[in-house]
Amino acid sequence: MIQNTILLLVCASFTTAVTLNAKPKPAPSSKNVKKETTSVPGTKIKLAPATPLPEGWSFANGAWIHSDGYKYVNGQVIRAGSQTHKLPPKPPTKADLDAAKKRKSPPSAADAAAAKAVERERNLRPRPASQTGTNL
């Protein structure tokens, strides 16, 4: 009796394992091709090409720099990079110059440290006790 039961369980587990793996995977067709991404569930990874450098003039660290290796200094376009055998670019427009002047520059290290010290002193100043009027 025990031998028959064990034989029955072995056969049942074997047939179950065979039937679970029996389905063949369908061949991918051009209609059902999905892009697989390796990512953690709940996150999406977008693969995009690197953004190219901006063409033209940009204002960085207080100086106008062109992507071809030119600088705009004292109203003149000066070559700062290697020789390119090209005509120098036109200087930045008046609107660009005015927009750069209106932008706030980041505070210097000394200004940031002074502002932080003032805030720290203000936070450490003792406050008066609350006047709730309890008679305990």
52-109 confidence digits (pLDDT tens): 545 688 887 778 888 888 888 888 888 887 777 778 888 888 888 888 777 767 778 8
The answer to whether residue 60 is domain-embedded is: yes
What range defines the domain where residue 88 resides? 55-103
Q: In total, how many domains does the chain have? A: 1
CA distances for 11 relative to 3, 16, 20, 40, angstroms? 12, 9, 14, 39
Cβ atoms < 10 Å from Cβ of 66: 21
The answer to whether residue 4 is domain-embedded is: no
The answer to whether residue 97 is domain-embedded is: yes
Percent of the residues in the chain that have a pLDDT greater than 90, as a whole number: 11
The answer to whether residue 95 is domain-embedded is: yes
Q: Which helix (H) or strand (E) holds 114?
A: helix 109-124
The answer to whether residue 72 is domain-embedded is: yes
Q: Can you give the pTM of this predicted structure?
A: 0.37
The answer to whether residue 2 is domain-embedded is: no
The answer to whether residue 92 is domain-embedded is: yes
Residues with Cβ within 8 Å of 122's Cβ and at least 6 positions away in sequence, in order, are none
Which of 84, 86, 64 lies closest to 73 in space, CA to CA? 64
The answer to whether residue 19 is domain-embedded is: no
Report which residue type is found at 45: I
CA distances for 73 relative to 18, 56, 90, 135, angstroms? 79, 15, 13, 74
